[in-house]
């Protein structure tokens, strides 16, 4: 199986899993808000192909794909969303704090931008301890408006830290468009200001995306220096919740329709992988739905 075939297959599975979450969320038995990434799966499916690297990932509140990519324990994932003790964090943390430290997903942090300095600290530790892991600060374009990004880029450049600044630019902060918040659509300009090597990729070009991820990781590993990878993508689901994000805030119905029509994964979807992800996730959701219904009847929810 080629890398691109494997990426499409895994991305299709990820979309199926998320689609099941979206469809079943209205039952109101997942005991936390969910920030899904439908439309953004190809990046993490590409990262999964570089499993020879050891990662320490600090993700944003939108941490479902990092968790599933690095850990993949679907039962623990679904159970955590239902705040059940079978969950990844024993049901104590829920969606916005998904993590699996043993597999490299160190934390998900819901405060915008707060994953970034944690990842810088891990990169500093790697350098100090002569460890080989690559620290990953995962964030969105909204976090680029936080001062901590610029402080972190500066420190990583000065200290030559092995860190990947991974920016998913989905063009929106909640429902506010990028054009209403920043004078430029390019986040790499912040890396340029700190003299951090950078590159722009897009989920609309899978070949370039996959090679860009590889180039970034190879550069960090060989130079022990930071790299800023900006990935243009588009979130098809609402900021928080299960609904399609059309006609909300600055996003027009026409823009949403055009984005859906140009979504690469929609056109190349591996139906078998998608259906497998959906059915596996739905089966587990049904199990924990029944458990939570029983707990509600007993007055525990």
Domains of the chain: 3-297 (3.40.50.970)
What is this structure's pTM? 0.95
Quick one: pLDDT band at residue 299, thresholds 50, 70, 90? confident
Q: Which two tokens stand for residue 115?
A: 């994953």
Give pLDDT, residue 280.
Answer: 98
Quick one: pLDDT band at residue 1, thresholds 50, 70, 90? low
Mean pLDDT value across the chain: 94
Closest CA to 71 of 107, 104, 43: 104
The whole-number average pLDDT for the span 114-133 is 97
Give pLDDT, residue 129.
Answer: 97
Report d(CA 60, CA 240) in Å as an integer: 13
Give pLDDT, residue 90.
Answer: 96
Closest CA to 138 of 117, 156, 154: 117
**Structure confidence by residue, pLDDT tens digits, 7-48:** 999 999 999 999 999 999 999 999 889 999 999 999 999 999
242 vs 71, more confident:
71
The whole-number average pLDDT for the span 82-107 is 96
Report d(CA 295, CA 301) in Å as an integer: 6
Cβ proximity of 40 and 237 under 8 Å: no
Cα–Cα distances (Å) from 197 to 81, 110, 194, in that order, read: 37, 27, 9
Give pLDDT, residue 206.
Answer: 97
**Structure confidence by residue, pLDDT tens digits, 211-259:** 999 999 999 999 999 999 999 999 998 888 888 777 678 888 888 889 8
Cβ proximity of 34 and 95 under 8 Å: yes
């Amino acid at each position: 199986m080629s890398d691109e075939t494997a990426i499409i297959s895994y991305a299709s599975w990820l979309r199926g899993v998320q689609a099941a979450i979206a469809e079943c969320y209205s039952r109101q038995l997942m005991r936390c808000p969910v920030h899904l990434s439908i439309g953004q799966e190809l990046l993490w499916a590409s990262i999964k192909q570089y499993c020879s690297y050891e990662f320490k990932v600090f993700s944003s509140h939108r941490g479902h794909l990092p968790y599933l990519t690095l850990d993949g324990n679907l039962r623990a994932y679904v159970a955590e969303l239902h705040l059940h003790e079978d969950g990844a964090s024993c049901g104590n943390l829920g969606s916005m704090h998904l993590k699996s430290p043993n597999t490299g997903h160190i934390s998900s942090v819901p405060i915008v931008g707060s994953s970034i300095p944690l990842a810088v600290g891990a990169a500093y530790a790697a350098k100090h301890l002569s460890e080989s892991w690559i620290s990953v600060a995962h964030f969105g374009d909204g976090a680029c408006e936080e001062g901590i990004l610029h402080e972190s880029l500066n420190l990583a450049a000065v200290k030559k830290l092995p860190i990947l600044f991974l920016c998913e630019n989905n063009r929106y902060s909640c429902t506010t468009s990028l054009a209403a918040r920043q004078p430029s659509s390019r986040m790499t300009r912040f890396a340029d200001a700190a003299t951090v090597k950078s590159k722009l990729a897009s989920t609309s070009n899978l070949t370039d995306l996959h090679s860009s991820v590889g180039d970034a990781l190879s550069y960090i590993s060989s130079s022990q220096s930071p790299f800023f990878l900006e990935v243009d993508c588009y979130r098809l689901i609402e900021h928080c919740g299960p609904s399609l994000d059309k006609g909300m805030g600055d996003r027009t119905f026409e823009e949403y329709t055009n984005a859906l029509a140009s979504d690469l994964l929609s056109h190349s979807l591996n139906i078998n992988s998608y259906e497998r992800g959906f059915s596996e996730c739905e089966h587990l959701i049904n199990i924990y739905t029944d458990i939570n219904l029983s707990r509600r009847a007993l007055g525990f929810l």
